[in-house]
Chains A and B, each alone.
Chain A
Amino acid sequence: MTTQTASREMKSLHFNARKPAMTPADKVVGAVSHTALTIWSLIVILPLLWTFMSSFKTSSEIFASPFALPSQWRFDNYVKAWTEAGIGSYFLNSVIVVGSALVIVMVLGAMCAYVLARYVFFGSKAIYYLMLAGLTFPIFLAMVPLFFIMRNIGLLNTLPGLTLVYVGFALPFTVFFLFSFFKSLPHEITEAAALDGAGEWRTFFQVMLPMAKPGLASVAIFNFLGLWNQFLIPVAINAAGPRVLSQGLAAFAGQMGYAVDFGALFAAVTVTVVPVLIVYVIFQRQLQGSVSQGTSK
């Protein structure tokens, strides 16, 4: 009995603490905040919705009225964009290049960061600063020499060449971020692994790497977005090669000046936007966590 009343009292106290009365001023502030944020959300969503809707229209429908719903929900534009404009194959190329670059850069970056964070040797500081330098300089500075390096080793306009360059340019961020992560893992664990007879390789792959999973996930998300959205590198060193999505989209839009098929262009943009958007909505919690992690380090 006594405990029951006590808990009831606790509950009501708790209730009071959590749901204080709103003062009129609070209501005004709340209303203003909601209004401002709603307007902002509309500014974000409306262009996307409009693009989506227009992707079902014919060109003449688009020019007749920007608001009217399509007369029928046809998928011609998507078929056209996917096959005739080649968005389908660009999409596949992007998946291959970004996927393999991501795997390689995560493995190499984690290895490099681990060595730099865990071992002190001659030149380790220098290598670390070399990585930092790569983060600071604009990619544009490297484009001209990179073009000739790729040509000299015969990887210009090839997907493997593009993949390697992606790995190179994603490496400094990966190392920089994971460096602080590996540094924060306790040293006793390495010692315990060594005592149990694990060599350097095993310690890394079976002990340290699994422990770094949260950090790896954050970096992987950022690297994915960065590489998937990359535009300059493919345009510069893969101009005549098999196109990736961002590049193909730009080429498609460039043709549009002459042959007017806006419906297909909208469909192409939608195909580019929607998959990443869906993945984002599914993983948005983790991603928002990574933003705070990734930028505070």
Chain B
Amino acid sequence: MTSVKGKSLRVDGGASAAVVPEAPPVYKRRRKPLTFDKISFFVVFLGLPLAIYIVFVISPFVQAFGYSLTDWSGFSPKQNFIGLENYRRLFTDDIFMKAMGNNILLVIVLPIVTIVLSLVLATLVTVGGSSRGQIKGLRNSSFYRVVSFFPYTIPAIAIGIMWGQIYDPSGGLLNGILTSLGMDQFKSFAWLGDKNTAMIATMFVIVWGFIGFYMVLFVAGIKGIPAELFEAARIDGAGRFRTAVSITIPLIRDNIQTAYIYMGILALDAFVYMAALNSGGGPDNSTLVMSQQLFFTAFTKGQFGLASAMGVVLAIATLIFSGLVFLVNRLTGGDKDVSL
């Protein structure tokens, strides 16, 4: 009996003794991460994505800078370091400078036109309703929102091909409409074949593709503004236009900045649209852009060093553009404005 008692006691004691020191190890185990569970977790969760990302994204980016300093033609094992010679060639190359000029034109025009138009449409949808009672949007406006978003779901290449047919001089929709309206001078006018209209026609296509997306973005932004603010403005006597300019635009400023940067980056690329509408750069190279020239230099001419230099120029242009947008937004008081 006693021995049994003693035993049971000892078991008890052992158990309690085991419980007491085990409390700190729980704490300790957290700081000591070397369990198999944790190691495998980190290897797979971080290692796998990072490996793919570094091999297929980061390393090409880094290598491009290196290639841009060589005269490498890709298939020869030898590549000579020629310093900034490629860049000097680019900036004295008339065709590349023309392409850069076209890109700059796109960067200036596309974001402004797209954003202004989509802001106007978004404003019409959101504050077009009654001026009495609750603030609300235009009736039955969801139809417009759904339709506006259509182009965003269409592959850019399909948009380009479609509009290429619409602009077709003889069988196209545009000239068909214009001649049926009595404007016979457009009977077989080649919109994409005339150097005065090719760029404008191309810009229209890109704007067509993106207005709806930014309209939906701005509508969401405007709906995020509390209705009380609009009501207060109305009680203070602000009309619709004044409300849009003084309340809506400052409050969705961040969305506008985002849209501006996205649209500018797209304008610096623009490869798909240009390739679909005028693959050769258009009449007199009037729609040629840097990305087309890069593609041609690399994969047709095989001058990979030079093409990489173009890529670097494109990347730097993108960074400068984003920096400028941030700077302008800050200088014009983007930070000081009320944010919700």
Contacts and interface: CB of A to CB of B under 8 A. Distances in A.
Interface in A136-162: 136-149
Contacts of A239: 299
A97 interface: no
A288 B145 contact: yes
Interface string A9-34: 00000000111111101100110011
B276 A250 contact: yes
Contacts of A253: 161, 164, 276
Contact of A136 (B128, B294, B318): B318
Given A26-B130, A33-B124, A269-B162, A262 B171 contact: yes
A48 B52 CA distance: 39
B41 A44 contact: no
A292 interface: yes
A295 interface: yes
Interface string A264-278: 011001001100110
With most chain B CB atoms within 10 A of its CB, the pick from A22, A50, A134 is: A50
B298 interface: yes
A5 interface: no
Contact of A138 (B165, B299, B314): B314
A152 to B, nearest CB: 11
B245 interface: no
B60 A146 contact: yes
A218 B220 CA distance: 15
B53 A168 contact: yes
B311 A140 contact: yes
Interface stretch (B8-16, B149-157, B328-336): B149-157
Contact of B220 (A21, A164, A262, A291): A291
A18 B41 contact: no
Interface string B102-139: 00000000000000000011001100111111100011
B253 to A, nearest CB: 12
Contacts of B148: 40-41, 44
A138 B157 CA distance: 18
Contacts of A287: 149
Given A140-B311, A172-B57, A288 B216 contact: yes
B170 interface: yes
Contact of A112 (B46, B216, B314): B46
Interface stretch (B91-99, B172-180, B193-201, B229-237): B172-180
A272 B37 contact: no
B299 A30 contact: no
Contact of A291 (B40, B213, B308): B213
B59 interface: yes
Contact of A141 (B61, B124, B176, B216): B61
Interface residues of B, number: 104
Contact of B53 (A17, A116, A172): A172
B48 A108 contact: yes
Nearest to A30: B128
With most chain B CB atoms within 10 A of its CB, the pick from A136, A141, A280, A296 is: A141
A199 B37 contact: yes
A7 B187 CA distance: 67
Contact of A67 (B44, B132, B180, B216): B180
A236 interface: yes
Interface string A164-197: 1101110110010000000000000000000000
Given A138-B268, A145-B67, A199-B37, A292 B224 contact: yes
B59 A149 contact: yes
A138 B276 CA distance: 20
B161 A144 contact: no
B50 interface: yes
A112 B171 contact: no
Contacts of A225: 152-153
Contact of B138 (A34, A46, A204): A34
28 contacts: A22-B130, A34-B128, A34-B138, A37-B125, A40-B211, A45-B147, A108-B49, A114-B45, A116-B46, A136-B319, A140-B314, A141-B311, A141-B314, A143-B60, A143-B311, A149-B59, A171-B53, A231-B156, A231-B157, A232-B272, A262-B171, A273-B155, A277-B154, A284-B149, A288-B149, A292-B223, A296-B220, A296-B254
5 tightest Cβ-Cβ pairs between the two chains A and B? A292-B220, A168-B56, A66-B176, A20-B133, A33-B128
Interface of A: 17-23, 25-26, 29-30, 33-34, 36-38, 40-41, 43-48, 50-51, 54, 62-63, 65-67, 108-109, 111-112, 114-116, 127, 130-131, 133-134, 136-149, 164-165, 167-169, 171-172, 175, 199-201, 204, 225, 228-229, 231-232, 235-236, 239, 245-246, 249-250, 253-254, 262, 265-266, 269, 272-273, 276-277, 279-281, 284, 287-288, 291-292, 295-296
